[in-house]
Amino acid sequence: MKLYGWLHPSKAFESIQVQSMEDLITGIDNFSQHDIVLVKKKIEELILQIESQDVPAPWLVFDFVLHKLAEMKKLCKLGKSDCKDIAHVCGITEDINGVLHYLHYEAGTLLYYSDIPGLNEYVITDFQLIFDSISKIIIQYFENSISGPHLKHKKLFTQKGQFDASVLRGVEGCLNVQELISLLHHRHIISKMEGTNMYFMPSVLPKDRLSCNLSDKSLCYLVLFDHGYCPVGLFCAATIKLIVSHKWELNKGASQFRNKIDFFCTCSGKLYNVIFSEFSAHYEVCLTGDALPEVKCKVYRDMNDVLSTVCKDMKYPSPTYGFYCPKKCMYENGSYVQDPHPATCAFNDESQEMKCYYSGTPSDLSKEDKQWFMQELIVSHKRKQGCKGVNTIPLCDDSHTEVFKMTKKACSKWKGIGRELGFTDEELFAIVREPGQTGEEDYYSAMLMRWLNWAPPNHSLPSVQQLTSALREVGFERLAFDLDEK
């Protein structure tokens, strides 16, 4: 591989500095000259604060040559072996993988996926490839000429966001079908539907006219973003990640929308309905029907895991969480803020409160609000107390299965154990009345799950020591001894 005569890497870019900065994302009124001037001023201030980052000149020459070569040969990807030869000619002595990772994840000038089989032998220089592939899939199904047996597939795509894998054969270009699937899957654009050759693409679904869920606020929490509005593409990416990570599954009997996805979440062997909705300034996560504290804890944990991963992949700042503000808040000019509006919550040991952006006075989180974040409260308390090891504080349903198996023999005395752990008789009878409970093992299992999530009010955090003490009080000395030993 030879460089063309128009480029002399030894003389080019003798002193180059590339500047990097966090993405500036600000919601503005496009018709307000004041807002536009304010944003321009903020950009200027940020640029002055940016610390420059030194980048080896050969790396930039290498990047320039890759794009120029791809342009001249009308390619959207280059083989990694060819890239190694070009890097050598450009004077790069470092590991080629490190250079490609920098140009992908830091500079953002190309795509290189070292961990995706089929794509790890290529460097993609043309981002438009992704958008063209998606456009071709959409056009393939939205063509007016589709009729007969294909009309069924068209309706499935336009109404449910599902398409058959065979359509990809008609849109493949420089990437083959498998490479294209791997790329779209990795970018959280599509997910495969289990047991079929169908794929799901939520971004093509119609939009729904949403209204905030104010009927039962205790079954709903909000995902918020510091810059004041929801990042583009994040909602659909999070939807795909929830599916492919097998955390939740689509409710196949419900209508799905680009801004409202109907899920089922499994907790302790039961299905719970979760509605995930996107508004302009926040996401809404709502459970329908009755929900136990452990279910709310799991829903929050699943969503938090997914959003943390997707935000990192898409280089978005991590979200915060909150609820609809219970107060009537005012702007500085004295006019009232339109309701409902969100308030951010802080759930650490020092500040378990909810604070609205417009209100200077925070309000305490209710018991129902805290149930969503029980894991964070327990972990925060654990760190504050200097506790070590999972045996000190079992967490949520992750510990439930192990603890239940080890102490199942005590289920006949589940009420006595529950009282020792801090449950009132009313709370224990509520467990009996729950649908689907058929006997003492079910009652004991449900009681343990609530205890591990710190559900009973006014008692200390769950620990193995508490459980062994409760077992001894109801006569299971040997079981308590075995639990202490383990």
Query: Helix (H, G, I), strand (E, B), or coil: what is residue 157?
Result: helix
Comparing 265 with 116, the larger pLDDT belongs to 265
Name residue, tokens 């056009």: 139
Q: What is the DSSP string of 105-155?
A: IIS-SSB--TTSTTTTTEEE--THHHHHHHHHHHHHHH-TT--TTHHHHHH
Alpha helices in 21-79, H assignment, sequence order:
33-49, 57-72
Q: Mean pLDDT for the chain? A: 77
The closest alpha carbon to 188, from 206, 208, 202, belongs to: 202
Query: Per-residue pLDDT averaged across 30-38, rounded?
Result: 74
pLDDT at residue 251 greater than cutoff 90: yes
pLDDT at residue 27 greater than cutoff 70: no
Of 74-88, 170-184, 294-308, 309-323, minimum mean pLDDT range: 170-184
Q: What is the pLDDT of residues 50-67, one digit of tens each?
A: 656 678 889 989 999 999
- Quote the DSSP letter at residue 217: G
Of 243-257, 342-356, 379-393, 404-418, minimum mean pLDDT range: 379-393
pLDDT at residue 12 greater than cutoff 50: no
pLDDT of 241 reads 93
For residues 107 and 18, is the Cβ–Cβ distance under 8 A?
Answer: yes
pLDDT of 458 reads 47
Q: Tell me the CA distances in angstroms from 219 to 8, 342, 413, 456, one per residue in order.
A: 64, 15, 32, 18
Question: What is the band of 470 on the pLDDT scale with cuts at 50, 70, 90?
Answer: confident
89: exposed, middle or buried (C-beta count within 10 Å: 0-12, 13-18, 19+)? middle
Question: What is the band of 17 on the pLDDT scale with cuts at 50, 70, 90?
Answer: very low
**Percent of all residues in the chain with a pLDDT value above 70, rounded to a whole number:** 77
- In sign, the C-alpha dihedral spanning 110, 115, 116, 119 is positive
Q: What is the pLDDT of residues 258-289, one digit of tens each?
A: 999 999 998 877 899 999 999 988 999 999 87
pLDDT of 278 reads 95
pLDDT of 109 reads 87
Gap between the Cα atoms of 444 and 400, Å rounded: 11
